[in-house]
Amino acid sequence: MTKKDFLTIGDMSAEEVRTLLDRSIALKAGDDAMKCPLIGKSVGLFFEKPSTRTRVSFEVGIYQLGAQPVYLSPKELQLGRGETIGDTARTLSRYLHGMVMRVYSHRSAVEFARHATIPVINGLSDLHHPCQALADAMTVLEYKGRLEGVRVAYIGDGNNVANSLVEIAARTGIDFVIASPSGYGPDAALLEKSRAAGTGNITLVDDPREAAENADVLYTDVWVSMGQEGEAEEKAKKFRSYQINAELLRLAKSDAVVLHCLPAIRGQEITDEVMDGPQSAVFDQAENRMHTEKALLEYLVR
């Protein structure tokens, strides 16, 4: 059987995305009780970046599916002494049944997947965060009962999370609007490709109030991603008005929910009042990382 990778949401069809979301909801409801579909298998976790949710959700999810998680730090592998990614991928494919990669450069995940004979999952790269987007869509589905036509307003930096949200909106019919300062929107080529190929309505604006107006969901992320700390001061000035606060939330629908992929810089991109308020679904969203990742592992690791 030909192996399948999950490096971007674009690696899945609309039908596959919906199947994964339906399975995720079933898993959360306890459908996996007393079942270990991946028993006897091992899944590698290659992490260049620090992590809370990605590492713990994958480790626990892998264990619950009956498989063994194997954590791999680049400093502990021969990659640190000059072995190529290709040789590492070929070798680890002989021991493992799947690999999760959290890397600085998306090219590293692509290169590893090109040489590996096992499924490779992008746990985060500089360009995409597809596992997060699956959990986000699951959370919207839980709260709104549907995805098609739901207005999701993303306020902030057009980063890896925003790129993956663009792709999942195109595959699920989400009405996705992103508000970012000029020059800080999502990847332009990806945006146009998703608009042309998808069913969702994807809009880019520079006014956060326009994006939030009548929204079903307000979503934000940190303004400065890992590896971009040198831009912190400049971004703090440009993004000052791109904060999800009580004033912005009042522009959304009365039953709107608030999402943040975490970690949050409280008081910067989101206020405590909103993040801890009754409309926040932030920690349900964090939990859903594990359920969607379990569904993904079930689907890919055979």
**For tokens 């592992």, what's the residue?**
297
Cβ atoms of 157 and 135 within 8 Å: the answer is no
Does residue 129 have an active-site annotation? yes
CA distance 55 to 52: 6
The β-bridge relationship of strands 42-47 and 98-102 is parallel
Q: List the catalytic residue out of 132, 243, 268, 285.
A: 132
The structure tokens listed for 264 are 């949050």
Helix (H) or strand (E) segment spanning residue 135: helix 130-144
Does residue 78 have an active-site annotation? no
Does residue 36 have an active-site annotation? no
Does residue 261 have an active-site annotation? yes
Q: List the catalytic residue out of 131, 221, 243, 268.
A: 221
Q: List the catalytic residue out of 97, 102, 106, 260.
A: 102
Residue in 168, 167, 169, 174 with CA at minimum distance from that of residue 190 = 167
Does residue 151 have an active-site annotation? no
Residue in 128, 127, 153 with CA at minimum distance from that of residue 205 = 153
CA distance 24 to 298: 10
Cβ atoms of 244 and 223 within 8 Å: the answer is no
The structure tokens listed for 160 are 């890896």
Q: List the catalytic residue out of 261, 268, 285, 291.
A: 261
Q: List the catalytic residue out of 53, 106, 129, 291.
A: 129
Does residue 268 have an active-site annotation? no
Active site residues: 102, 129, 132, 221, 261, 289
